[in-house]
Amino acid sequence: MFVRLGPARAIRPKPEGYVFMATQSSNSSKSKTEAKKATAQAKKTTAKNADAPKKATAKAPAAEKTQAQAILESAVDFPVGAVLSVSDKVGDIVEPWTSRTKAEKELRAYRRKIENAAKRTERRGTTARKRATTEARKTRTRVERDVRKRQQAVASTATSTIKTSRDEVERRVKQVSDQLAALR
């Protein structure tokens, strides 16, 4: 979206090697014409290599200009796009309310949505209430069963304790009665 300016870089040609003005071979087989051609070629290459940095520095401002132009364009395009998006959203919100029939239709749709949401909420509440009632009934039944078992256990223990105690009392009463009868 945004373009970042980097440091300006001049495009530099790669050196192709050094060309010497005139060379003389050890066997002197080159003629004067060939020597002149080599010298002329060397001058052209040197001049060409000297012009390359000038061309590269001429290209650098153009690249910077292109980057700056891209940044400015994005700086202008972003707010314009944002305004258009907001305009579309506002149009979508306002459009159903532009005429009486559309507004009534929109109100009926809202009413239907609200009624459906209310029915859904009521069904969920009914389900939760029934589930809680069932759980409470199960818990009550379980507690009552436990209480009955404990009551029966206590009653059984009490009955056996009372019977054992009564038998012991009757045995002692008989023993004392026998002792009294033996004394008379």
| Token reading at 62 | 């153009």
| Token reading at 9 | 């870089």
Positive or negative CA dihedral for 151, 152, 158, 161?
negative
User: In this predicted model, what pLDDT tens digit does every residue of 122-172 receive, in sequence order?
Assistant: 999 999 999 999 999 999 999 999 999 999 999 999 999 999 999 999 999
| Token reading at 174 | 């008989």
CA atoms of 162 and 168, how far apart (whole Å): 10
Q: Domain-by-domain residue ranges, the chain?
A: 98-177
Phi-psi region of 17 (alpha: psi -120 to 50; beta: other; left: phi over 0): left
CA atoms of 59 and 53, how far apart (whole Å): 10
Strand extents, DSSP E, the chain: none
pTM of the model: 0.40
Between 124 and 50, the more confident residue is 124
pLDDT at 10: 47
Q: Which of 49, 48, 20, 47 is nearest to 35 (CA)?
A: 20
Q: How crowded is residue 143: how many other Cβ atoms within 10 Å of its Cβ?
A: 10
